[in-house]
Chains A and B, each alone.
Chain A
Amino acid sequence: MALAFKSTGTRQLKNSLAKWLITLGGISVLFTLVLIFMYLLYVIKPVFDSATVEQTSHIALSSEGRTLSTGVDELKEVAYEINTRGEIVFYRLTDKNNHELGSQISSQHLISDDAEITHIVDSGIHYKLLVDSDNNNLVIAPKFQAVYTADTREIMARIDYPLGEESLEIDENNEQLKKVAFAMNSEKVVFVAKTTDGRLIKTSLLAEDDFDYDPAFEAIYQEIDFYSKKVDEILITPDLSLAFVQSGNTVSVFDLTDEDVVTLKAEIKPKTNITSMALLSGSSSVLIGDDKGNISQWFEVASDSGRDFQKIRSFNNASGESVAKIYTEQFRKSFYTVSSSGAADIFYTTSEAQLWNGKIAETAPQAFAISPRADAIVTVSNNELKIFTVHNEHPEVTWSALWNEVWYEGYAEPDYIWQSTSGTDDFEAKFSLVPISFGTLKAAFYAMLFAVPIALTAAIYTAYFMTPGLRKKVKPTIELMEALPTVILGFLAGLWLAPIIEIYLPAIFLMVIFLPLSTLIAAFAWYKLPKDIKLKIPETLAPVILIPVILISVYCAFALSPILETHMFGGDVRQYITNELGINFDQRNALVVGIAMGFAVIPTIFTMAEDAIFSVPRHLTSGSLALGATQWQTLIKVVLLTASPGIFSALMMGLGRAVGETMIVLMATGNTPILDWSIFQGMRTLAANIAVEMPESEVGSSHYRILFLAAFVLFVFTFVVNTLAEFVRQRLRDKYSSL
């Protein structure tokens, strides 16, 4: 008894254990789906986060003299300041390795003791031009180097003099410079300056070898013909091609590329009171700030009247105060504006996003610098150096930049463009999901256009007219198509079908006419046949009878194609389409994709639609037929009407499949992201785009996250479509069971 009881206990235990385990297994399916959804969201979310700026530390400066310039190393461990006395002082920003936070590492005098620095001009984040009261000009580059010992890492600082330690003669006449700007690369330096005697000069230093290791150069002096005596601000693009000279409320643009003469290229008149000006990364855009807190972006646009500078977009700072200064990032299109009350704003031009605003000081800071990785800013005001950590990883992405037209640099007008990578560093990434979403819908549309008529007619016939014996053979054969790997369909489409379509293009359009026509002729011929033959070959064999008919008409279409081509299209349809109709013709186009993906979709639609029609209760059709309706009338008025929700869900499932299909589109199109409905052009779809670009995208970058967003869009789209289809199907099933 006791034994039996015990065994019942273990049995019960096993039973409930099994129950729990199986329930867990069942729930895990739902869990998986939710996990995919959540994970995709988790990766995407940072893209839409706005920037944050937090002060992490501050140090009291120990030097005397007013700070003119500041900077920080790449790892944010060392900051420096350069003051009016010509001193550069390096400070520690960490308390690692038993150092004190804010302690001085080293300091160095850059000019003679009795002189005073009047201004410091930056070129990029590396080079600084110091101009002192004795008219000495010096270009320096503060450099940082990580030194590794047994288990520590120290950042060592030093000063490089890429143009030598001697004062540079920027003006031929050796006048004091009132305003100066410079830009340099390893082969050339260009200065544009306003001298105290009112001349605007340009001086180029050409490296004898390379400024990275040899400061020797040859100087070329030029004077610029400029009508205005007043110069407020000068900027030179990093590629040394243009100079922007602000004089009052006009900005004159000079072309610097010619070593003989400097010509006025354009004038920008923003019709506001210009208070500040800066160049955006990538040397094509200039930003102009005014006294009402408005910042506008200008770049050269090709228009009917030639190339000229146009106002592209404008931003307003949050405080509405005058824009005292604009600071731009080195590699991205982000910029910071500071007002006289110390309020700062961060913007990104391409996405037209205001990323952050807040107060960083009581007044406009004396010196301001963005760290090399753009993950921090350093400000100096009132002998206090403040470090702010900036989290601004994905400024280029906003919802509107993804889905609306964006005016990119160098383009004539706003446009939808997907171009994620390029060879150069200062490339403006173009992340518009519109062309690839459009491509997805286009591919799906053409696939459905091809698949729906064939799949539905096949489903109707198989479910309603076919004899059970034939149906048993036909249905699995068509369903076999679903098993064919899409990579094979894509391969055949790209390498076999596309060349055939290119050569026999007229044949494809002839077939659209020939196939239904030959079918009708065959049907009529059968109708006209004598009764006794009709009995031997019943109408139920129609699909079999039609196979040779269709093959013959396909053959005729192909045989007629070259003749048609010669007589109607001048021998070459491709050229005819390109030249006469003015439509671009890609070999791998929407027609090829439509046919290939249509094949992939046919079995999906066929199977479900056939099931829906087949399971229409017999008594409904019997009733209709008994009342004298013909087979066809019964089908249209009773069967299809009853099965229409099922057919609808079949179409939805087919659409879902077409939208998400990757390999066929990848292989059968040129994968160019264009916005064009033309059947003779290719497209790039969301899925193919992911397959092409995902392996090359850097983990955690904006590009990577946007590809996840593309996957998420696909996920949500198919989720909606499938859920809708399933919902409709469930309703239908309930309806049938009640009938």
Chain B
Amino acid sequence: MMKNSNKEQQNMNKWFSSGSPWIWLSAGGVSISLISVLGLLWLIASKGLSYFWPADIYEFKSINDQGIHGTVIGEIYDREFIPASQLAHTDIKLAPGEETVERLLVKTGNRELVSLDFRWLLVPEIQTTTKPEDVVVIERRTNGNFYGYIESVILDGTVVDISKLPELLERVDNFQEEIDTLQNSYIGAINYKIERTRLKERKYKLDNELTDELVKELNTEVADLEAEYQVLEAELMGLRKQVARDQIVVRAMDGQKVTINFEHILKVTYNNRLNFIDKFLTFLQQISAFLVDDPREANTEGGVFPAIFGTVLMVLLMTVIVSPFGVIAAIYLHEYAGKNAFTKLLRIAVINLAGVPSIVYGVFGLGFFVYMVGGSLDQLFYPETLPSPTFGTPGVMWSAITLAILTLPVVIVSTEEGLSRIPSAMRHGSLALGATKAETLWRIILPIASPAIMTGIILAIARAAGEVAPLMLVGVVKMAPNLPLDGNFPFLHLDRKFMHLGFHIYDVGFQSPNVEAARPLVYATALLLVTIIVGLNMTAVSVRNKLREKYRMLEH
């Protein structure tokens, strides 16, 4: 026995001295890293996707500790276990020995009836849970979702059968679409033109070129536009009236009857009647609506189209700026720079540009580009709009330039890596055949290095798309009234502020009044952003790997 335990001891010692435990511990580091990366992605994906999946609607009949009966209709949003001791002040009867109590967070909607559209339900208090087939979810333009039973449908003052509902909804949809085009495209364009005419007049005045003739001409122009506006306005009012013709009456969970006008309704669904395929189709529909719709209710509902658009546009502008500079700098470093102190300094500058905190770029961009350069541009070219600034205020152009500086090192490093992988034999061959250095670069080196350059640009885009901190200072806003690109001359409005997916996450998740309600949308936005960025990164990595393979072949 003694011998055995001794042997065990030796065995243990041997194991320890072999270093194997430490190797395993370091393997644990790898495992934790892997778990956290994959777990994080899985968390975002599952939470983000569940936002689109049509949830079951439950009806809970409960009785609370004072013996009051209640009915709650809604989606189960979250569930958690809390220690029973936290409920000591209530008279809840628990099974002996039970230490935790389950509770459900239920989204009840109906914001006009209850102050909070979420409530906690203790599972022991729930008497029955059903999934009534007749419960509908009504998505609305304001006040969020409504959950309840449809009592009647009223067409122009008379009650009609519920089967008419889809038809009426489609009619309203068509009208709403017309209203949107009218409002955004036509009326917006007229307002823009009137504003420009007013500015033209001020400009003439500032240049002392304003003659009576010009005044008359401009005034007639404005009068024409205003007349046009009146016509459209009348048309709009007509449409609005059409839309507001019908109503539905809905019974909420507490028996109250609420009349909802069709002009507020976006969609009516019987979630509990959907089978898996229906749900899947709804799921796809929801995703596409999320991608192409405008936000509603201070960004907490609806889609994120302006944010996607703003992000893409800003990143494209940035790419246009950063690509030539990054590539040229990389070419200089690899092909032209000598081995001297200056080159070392330059390399340190590149490393530091990559290491400077992004917020510092934001501060620099705000002070230098926005206030200094932008302010001077306004003085020179837009004196007519002063004191309200044109370029002297944060906007999409300054954001693009600021992020271009921020991503410059990414392009440089990646391009230089690509250049260094090109065998020098290729350069020598070209030069030996009589080509100049510039020609060698242009005809031989750059084409071969182009995948590396692409990699750098893709990585820069991925970095820029996820960067938020500097943008908060140089151009991003919570809600931009207009897209930076529209049908009004000069079409691309570089001075406009824009919306951004990353900032959308920060803003809706942390600045909105009803964070609980907005959270699923934030997960969905996060999923979208992560998908874009991870997708871009994987593309970049695979391009780079292919490239490496290719050069390996060239070398042999």
Contact B352 A33 (CB under 8 A): yes
Interface check B35, CB cutoff 8 A = yes
A473 CA to B408 CA in the complex, in Å?
A: 28
Contact B360 A36 (CB under 8 A): yes
Contact A694 B366 (CB under 8 A): yes
Which residues does chain A contribute within 8 Å of B27, judged by CB atoms? 457, 461, 465, 519, 542-543, 546
Residue of A nearest to B15 (CB): A527
Residue of A nearest to B536 (CB): A483
Contact A572 B86 (CB under 8 A): yes
Contact of A715 among B40, B356, B436, B473 (CB under 8 A): B356
How would residues 360 to 389 of chain B score, 1 for a CB under 8 Å from any chain A CB and 0 otherwise?
A: 111110111001100000000000000000
Contact A495 B537 (CB under 8 A): no
Interface check B214, CB cutoff 8 A = no
Interface size class of B (residues with CB under 8 A): 35 or more
Report A484-498 residues with CB < 8 Å from chain B CB.
Answer: 484-488, 490-492, 494-496
Contact B355 A656 (CB under 8 A): yes
Interface check B336, CB cutoff 8 A = yes
Known A32-B405, A485-B529, A547-B35; judge A659-B357 contact (CB<8 A): yes
Contact of A719 among B30, B352, B463, B541 (CB under 8 A): B352
B299 to chain A, nearest CB (A): 14
Contact of B31 among A19, A480, A546 (CB under 8 A): A546
Which residues does chain A contribute within 8 Å of B522, judged by CB atoms? 491, 495
Contact B510 A494 (CB under 8 A): yes
Report A477-528 residues with CB < 8 Å from chain B CB.
Answer: 477-478, 480-481, 483-488, 490-492, 494-496, 503, 515-516, 519-520, 522-524, 526-527
Contact A22 B35 (CB under 8 A): no
B73 to chain A, nearest CB (A): 26
Interface check B534, CB cutoff 8 A = yes
Known A465-B26, A485-B465; judge A708-B363 contact (CB<8 A): yes
Interface check B192, CB cutoff 8 A = no
Contact B367 A39 (CB under 8 A): yes
Which residues does chain A contribute within 8 Å of B324, judged by CB atoms? 25
Contact of B100 among A457, A465, A562 (CB under 8 A): A562
Which residues does chain A contribute within 8 Å of B371, judged by CB atoms? 699
A481 CA to B351 CA in the complex, in Å?
A: 20
Binds A, one of B265-273, B283-291, B342-350: B342-350
How would residues 30 to 70 of chain B score, 1 for a CB under 8 Å from any chain A CB and 0 otherwise?
A: 11111111101001100000000000000000000000000
Contact A461 B29 (CB under 8 A): yes
Contact of B466 among A485, A566, A687, A711 (CB under 8 A): A485
Interface check B187, CB cutoff 8 A = no
Known A19-B336, A667-B510; judge A711-B351 contact (CB<8 A): no
A27 CA to B342 CA in the complex, in Å?
A: 9
Known A458-B26, A523-B20, A599-B36; judge A663-B469 contact (CB<8 A): yes
Interface check A132, CB cutoff 8 A = no
Interface check A21, CB cutoff 8 A = yes
Which residues does chain B contribute within 8 Å of A492, judged by CB atoms? 40, 43-44, 526
Which residues does chain B contribute within 8 Å of A631, judged by CB atoms? 19, 23
Which residues does chain A contribute within 8 Å of B509, judged by CB atoms? 491, 494-495, 667
A458 CA to B23 CA in the complex, in Å?
A: 10
Number of A-B contacts defined by CB within 8 Å: 338
Known A26-B333, A26-B336, A454-B29; judge A726-B347 contact (CB<8 A): yes
A interface, over-half SS: helix
Contact of A33 among B25, B26, B349, B505 (CB under 8 A): B349
Contact B332 A660 (CB under 8 A): no
Interface check B293, CB cutoff 8 A = no
Interface check B5, CB cutoff 8 A = no
Contact B29 A455 (CB under 8 A): yes
Interface check A602, CB cutoff 8 A = yes
Interface check B107, CB cutoff 8 A = no
Contact of B329 among A28, A454, A633, A691 (CB under 8 A): A28
A663 CA to B526 CA in the complex, in Å?
A: 14
Residue of A nearest to B516 (CB): A495
Contact A539 B332 (CB under 8 A): no
Report A625-639 residues with CB < 8 Å from chain B CB.
Answer: 630-633, 635
B interface, over-half SS: helix
Contact B368 A630 (CB under 8 A): no
Contact A718 B356 (CB under 8 A): yes
* Most chain B beta-carbon neighbours within 10 Å: one of A21, A26, A460: A26
Interface check A359, CB cutoff 8 A = no
Interface check A563, CB cutoff 8 A = yes
Contact A476 B541 (CB under 8 A): yes
What is the total number of residues of chain A having a CB less than 8 Å from a CB of chain B?
116
Known A15-B438, A495-B519, A723-B348; judge A663-B35 contact (CB<8 A): no
Which residues does chain B contribute within 8 Å of A503, judged by CB atoms? 80, 82
A57 to chain B, nearest CB (A): 29
Contact A25 B352 (CB under 8 A): no
Known A516-B28, A714-B359, A722-B352; judge A461-B23 contact (CB<8 A): yes
A519 CA to B31 CA in the complex, in Å?
A: 10
Known A21-B328, A491-B506, A695-B473; judge A461-B26 contact (CB<8 A): yes
Known A491-B506, A547-B35; judge A663-B28 contact (CB<8 A): no
Which residues does chain A contribute within 8 Å of B353, judged by CB atoms? 29, 32-33
Which residues does chain B contribute within 8 Å of A633, judged by CB atoms? 19
A236 CA to B220 CA in the complex, in Å?
A: 63
Residue of B nearest to A692 (CB): B472
Which residues does chain A contribute within 8 Å of B18, judged by CB atoms? 630, 632
Contact B33 A483 (CB under 8 A): no
Which residues does chain A contribute within 8 Å of B331, judged by CB atoms? 22, 25-26
Contact B533 A485 (CB under 8 A): yes
Which residues does chain B contribute within 8 Å of A522, judged by CB atoms? 24
How would residues 464 to 499 of chain B score, 1 for a CB under 8 Å from any chain A CB and 0 otherwise?
A: 011111001100000000000000000000000000
Contact A477 B38 (CB under 8 A): yes
Report B303-351 residues with CB < 8 Å from chain A CB.
Answer: 324-325, 328-329, 331-333, 335-337, 345-351
B362 to chain A, nearest CB (A): 7
Contact A15 B437 (CB under 8 A): yes
A519 CA to B28 CA in the complex, in Å?
A: 7
B431 to chain A, nearest CB (A): 11
Residue of A nearest to B529 (CB): A485
Which residues does chain A contribute within 8 Å of B335, judged by CB atoms? 22
Chain B residues near A (Cβ < 8 Å): 15, 17-38, 40, 43-44, 80-83, 85-86, 99-100, 324-325, 328-329, 331-333, 335-337, 345-364, 366-368, 371-372, 405, 408, 412, 436-439, 441-442, 462-463, 465-469, 472-473, 502-503, 505-506, 509-510, 515, 519, 522, 526, 529-530, 533-534, 537, 541
Listed A/B pairs (26) with beta-carbon separation below 8 Å: A15-B438, A19-B336, A22-B332, A26-B336, A27-B332, A30-B346, A32-B353, A40-B363, A454-B32, A457-B25, A457-B26, A485-B467, A487-B529, A488-B44, A491-B509, A492-B40, A523-B20, A524-B15, A539-B20, A572-B86, A630-B17, A632-B23, A663-B469, A667-B510, A687-B469, A690-B359
Besides the known contacts A484-B530, A520-B25, 17 further A-B residue pairs in the complex with CB atoms under 8 A apart: A27-B332, A29-B412, A32-B353, A36-B356, A36-B361, A461-B30, A483-B463, A490-B506, A491-B505, A492-B526, A519-B25, A571-B85, A602-B36, A694-B362, A711-B363, A721-B355, A727-B348
Sorted nearest first, the 8 A-B pairs with minimum C-beta distance are A632-B19, A660-B357, A26-B332, A485-B466, A457-B29, A25-B328, A523-B24, A571-B85
